[in-house]
Amino acid sequence: MKERRYRILVTGYAISSYGTFLNLVALNLYVYAVTDRALAVGLFMGARLCAGFLAGLGAAALLARCAAKPVMLWSNLVQAAALLLLVCAPDGLRTAALFLVSAVVGGAGTFFMVAFRSSIPDMVDEGRHTWANSLMVSGRSMAMVVGFASSGVVVSLLGYRAAFVVDMATFLVCAATVALLPLTAAARTDPAQARARERRSPGALVALGSAPVIALMVALRGIDALGSSSHNAALPVYSTQLDADRPAVFVSVFWCVWALGNVLVQQVVQRYVKKGGRTVGALGFGLGTIVMSATFILAFAGLPWAPTVIVALLAGAADGVTEVSYSSHLQTLPTELRTHAFGLSATVENLGFGLGMIAVAAALDAFSPLSVVGVAHGVAIAVAVVFVARVLRTRRAAPVTVAG
């Protein structure tokens, strides 16, 4: 019954992810249509990232006072309400409504993901964490394919407001699946306990920092986000250089193949865990980051279509492995440290991606996409190599420590 409810929740999350990816295209186009300024698109994304950054800082404190279930429920309802406000906003208030939606989606989306990822150990049985994370990533990847593929059709045929209504409906569906969860607030609603947890927050962060592997993992995640900003910003530029008449072709094909690789690797991961009873741990995260960054660099190397498709497939597969291994490893932490870890992770990821977008946008005016992506992902590879060496050294030292 627990796994059935979790599958229902993942279905709702995948549906809301479809709406998110649909609106990622629709909202950016709509911002430009309303303001007629490219700068507004950048400010729009900046507002979303800043809200996500701040939400990551406050997520642990919020989850100390509230259970995961109401946090996930209200995160979806608030996003749906913001989109409803945008749909109903008069012409003079549309720009303000757009930036409000951006901030709400960034903040509430971060709260939802921190609550979701940190509470997975409470929603599934022991030993099923990797399976649960893999299922979640699979749902999001498939939603990404459908969302990006259908965004042009929905906007062209139905218009922007129809796209916003669809996204609003997806958040309501996700909220309904959250409502079916058996999670209760009993463990976290006592005010005295909540205040005690907040007073222990600095100590929890110190304890988190004293775990070198976890701290380096979170740092590598932030640097990986900076690398992600480089290929996200460089893809439209590179695609235009390849085919100025049809610049969307390379971008759409690349992301669809990337998502396919992400979905396929989850089937492999689930069978690997089920057959051997093993997990994709910290070592898989480090190695996956190296492969992912290397393949993203190769994607801009001017290869023919066939090897580029293989590179995109490998990039998606490696990204899927890193996502599952990262979440699964952080979920081994005690509950109090776990919420801080995921909150800190969300903050670091938003910071890395936001700073990366600014730096990359400036660099692309002077350097080629290959150079910019190569430097950004090269840094990620270097840090990942250090991380892998640390993990291997820790594993070799473990038997000696036990024997001593």
Beta-carbon contacts of 204 under 8 Å, excluding residues fewer than 6 positions away, are 60, 336, 337, 340
Query: Comparing 1-199 with 200-404, is the CATH topology the same?
Result: yes
pLDDT at 29: 72
Residue 303 amino acid letter: L
Q: How many residues does the chain have?
A: 404
Number of CB atoms found within 10 A of residue 38's CB: 10
* Residues in the chain, pLDDT under 50: 185-189, 400-404
Q: How far apart are CA 317 and CA 310, in angstroms?
A: 11
Beta-carbon contacts of 306 under 8 Å, excluding residues fewer than 6 positions away, are none
What is the token pair recorded at 116? 């979701």
Tell me if 227 sits within 8 A of 293, measured CB to CB.
yes
CA dihedral (158, 162, 164, 169) positive or negative: negative
Q: How far apart are CA 120 and CA 286, in angstroms?
A: 22
pLDDT at 175: 96
188-197 long-range Cβ contacts below 8 angstroms, 24+ apart? 188/63, 188/64, 188/65, 188/66, 188/67, 189/65, 189/66, 189/67, 191/65, 194/64, 194/65, 197/64, 197/336
Beta-carbon contacts of 9 under 8 Å, excluding residues fewer than 6 positions away, are 123, 177, 178, 180, 181
CA dihedral (193, 196, 201, 207) positive or negative: negative
CATH architecture of 1-199: Up-down Bundle (1.20)
Query: Domain spans of the chain?
Result: 1-199, 200-404
The helix/strand/coil state of 67 is coil
Question: What does DSSP assign to residue 299?
Answer: T
CA dihedral (42, 43, 44, 45) positive or negative: positive
Alpha-carbon distance values, 381 to 221, 284, 317, 353, 358 (Å): 12, 14, 17, 16, 21
Class in CATH terms, 200-404: mainly alpha
Phi, psi of 365 (to 5 degrees): -75, -20
pTM score: 0.81
Residue 278: alpha-carbon gap to chain centroid? 24
